[in-house]
Structure 1
């Protein structure tokens, strides 16, 4: 995930998906509720459970925030914020467009993180498309020899 001029809805969705995989929840204080889907992916897309959580977050009170952060999801969806890669753990973190980063990464309270022994959180991937691209690149390379 690269830095952009503002966080898009898709970037915020990916940001949450990454942190959900590490057990972080979205806190909705007015409802006294924690939201964290157990199943994030189904095949090469987000699971129905994740999509339900995402829609609930988008359509709930504006004070929902990712556990361990101070910015609300609604703030992240505004032009004042962007999503960048953390220099410590490479996971997506919020930063104001003005460039003043939060003093800590969202991973600050995760013991044993970053952990290069475990697969990193990811976004949905269509493996058949990826494999077809690899196949095409190999075929093109073979044709050029």
Structure 2
């Protein structure tokens, strides 16, 4: 099951690459900047997280994905690393991996010239 901390990390990583969270029925697109400040989540990120919770996580989807943020916290999804780009992705517990990663529509990604982390 994805935890709130894992979900926040997942969103923070994708926000840094320019992905946004779409809020259905509101027409909102949220992508805070900066995401990290002095090694911690920035105030912009914290404000965005609060806004997402106020809008209802069931109405919020990371751009390029089909699962709501509420579904990801529902116990049927785990956060793991994409085999293609090493970014965090969600995977159905006991199921097959998603066909595509949110990176599928990013130009010049994955960037294999970046140094490996870890």
TM-score between both structures, scaled by the size of structure 2: 0.92
Q: CA deviation at 1:50?
A: 0.4
The question of 1:97 aligning with 2:87 is answered no
Alignment correspondent of 1:108: 104
Q: Which runs of 5+ in 2 are unaligned?
A: none
Q: Which runs of 5+ in 1 are unaligned?
A: 1-5, 122-145
The question of 1:69 aligning with 2:65 is answered yes
Counterparts of residues 26-105 of structure 1 (less than 5 Å):
26-61=21-56, 62-105=58-101
Q: Provide Cα deviations, 1:44-77, integer angstroms capped at 9, x if missing partner.
A: 2111010000111122132210000000000011
The answer to which structure has the higher helix fraction is 1
Q: Distance in 1 between matches of 2:116 and 2:31?
A: 18
Q: CA deviation at 1:118?
A: 4.2
Per the alignment, in what secondary structure is the counterpart of residue 75 of structure 1? helix
Alignment correspondent of 1:11: 6
Paired residues, number: 116
Q: 1:83 to 1:25 in 2, by over 3 A?
A: same
